[in-house]
Structure 1
Amino acid sequence: MAKRGKNYNESSKLIDRHNAYSTEEAIDLVLKTSKAKFDETIDLAVRLGVDPRHADQQVRGAVVLPHGTGRTRKVLVIAKGDKQKEAEAAGADFVGGEEMVAKIQSEGWMEFDVVVATPDMMGVVGRIGRILGPKGLMPNPKSGTVTFEIEKAVKEIKAGKVEYRVDKASIVHVPIGKASFGAEKLVENFNTMIDTLIKAKPAAAKGRYLKSVTVSSTMGPGVKVNAQKLMD
């Protein structure tokens, strides 16, 4: 087991690992235990009562958090004609067509965080599916990244839109802001994300849906939130 640092061990003493806290208490504890010298990201991990091996139990989508994530994301738009101009006007960081796909293929260029593509370019984008897919960067209609509404997509991403999807272990991991946001804004972002996940519950999911909810800072220990109360 990896040896933990002094700050982590001191922080752990503040948290009762057998207790599940209210949202407000959990966020306060995470902020108290965020002791790094940089502005730590606050992460949310939710274990869902779904079996992601089944197509009808997939949980995936995107949501604009009220206060964003505190991170500026670089957006690549793959489109043609007027849609390229629309992307540039909306503030996309990189804009192009087939030449962008070729650049990724031949140079391994990956200086972006999100890829948005128009539906008519998905045949071309499919060529780099093996590169983008494993990194979670493949455009997808469910997350709003395959669309002709380029301006809306780019602006939402820049405003703090986050994509979420359940992983093989049935867990959704998402950032809900930075420690510098303070408790009030983090609680609002947390509640928006939880409400979104509850609304995304698949009809095929049986039993308890929110199995565990944990918040943590980049370098700090996890704090459990009372998942049952969130469903009430």
Structure 2
Amino acid sequence: MTETPAYGLWGLVIINSVVFILFAASFTRLQTPRDWRTLGAFSAFILALFTEMYGFPLTIYLLSGWLGRQFPGVDFWSHDAGHLLETLFGWRVNPHFGPFHILSNILIFGGFWLLAVSWNVLYAAQRDHRLATEGPYARVRHPQYAAFVVIMFGFLLQWPTLVTLAMFPILVWVYVRLARQEEAAARTEFGPLWDDYARRVPAFLPRIAISSPYAPRPGDGPHD
């Protein structure tokens, strides 16, 4: 890991941030203030991430003394060494093929897939004035927020920084708060149908036990 330092590339910071933010925005169909807050929280995380990945490595700068003592001979100002989990756990080959980076890619792509599927189901339901219970919504009540959390966690595995590690639990709390606001509105609109759905489907984490996805019970009536 002795490659030329790869920081100060502010063009890459801007390009990567814009690409991922617009990519996420393309799935969210921004229509309400809550949609904008959801994307705004994610955008702040992405900007902080790529600032350290290509701009200025604040985490490495602050931990440089400890890292130098623990891992002599490693050039922590190189891009490869910035993949700290691979470095800390002794992965000495190309970090892009390391276990944390591979898992990161799976989570990021999986999260974007879940985001796309979830928002399609949600906005189709909103267009028809019914409760969204199909697809991912048959397993969890807030798959769109879960998707954002999965994506951010994937990026943390790929490029952990002190700033994004501090931001992560705060942003999770923000998404939980937005989800509660969404639930209050849904309860007002759908009443007993929402209560039955909320009792049978968990909020963010699907149940481990194998079970059938949610389906309205006989007599529940239409989802509107």
TM-score (norm 2): 0.21
Identify the structure with the greater helix proportion: 2
Higher RCO, 1 vs 2 (CA within 8 Å, ≥6 residues apart): 1
Query: Which structure is larger by alpha-carbon Rg, 1 or 2?
Result: 2
TM-score (norm 1): 0.21
